Amino acid sequence: MPVNRFWKNNGLQLAWVVALVATLGSLYLSEILGYNPCKLCWIQRIFMYPLVILLGIAALKRDNKITTYVLALSIPGGLVSLYHYLYIKTDWFKAASSFCQENPCDFDYINWFGFITIPFMALTAFVLITVICFLLRRAVRNSDGLHFSM
């Protein structure tokens, strides 16, 4: 199964690249362009930044068991990103959110093509990392002979 072999051999590196690009992108936006991250952006960073270290070490050691810990960060991080995106683009959560006073969470620093915002980019990164980890887990499970075929 060449597809399983691809994910087993390259999944950690791909997930690490996604996390690294997301982290460097967020640092570029805040430190170079001067965009002030809101509280929801900080929460997303708390979930993303450790992934660079965890995935980097796991990729070097070829430790495919790290996916459990990665998913424990990528799934809630993705949920925060989804909430933040919906907070910006809809009126669904406006009344319930009172934690973004000094730096508003619904300010659009970036709005490309009418839908690509900073939370959307973070959500994309979290989803990619999550999908890669699930594909990696399946590839490892299949290569270990733990699957049944009918």
Mean pLDDT of 132-143: 88
The Cα–Cα gap between 141 and 67 comes to 12
- Three-point CA angle 43, 116, 52, nearest 5°: 40
Give the model's pLDDT for residue 148: 43
Q: How far is CA 37 from CA 30, 72, 98, 131, 139, in A?
A: 7, 23, 16, 26, 37
Q: What is the pLDDT of residues 39-94, one digit of tens each?
A: 888 899 999 999 999 999 999 999 888 999 999 999 999 999 998 888 887 777 66
The Cα–Cα gap between 70 and 106 comes to 28
- If DSSP codes are grouped into helix, strand and coil, which group holds residue 82? helix
Q: What is the pLDDT of residues 17-29, one digit of tens each?
A: 999 999 999 999 8
Give the model's pLDDT for residue 107: 59
pTM score above 0.75: yes
Closest CA to 16 of 45, 44, 55, 53: 55
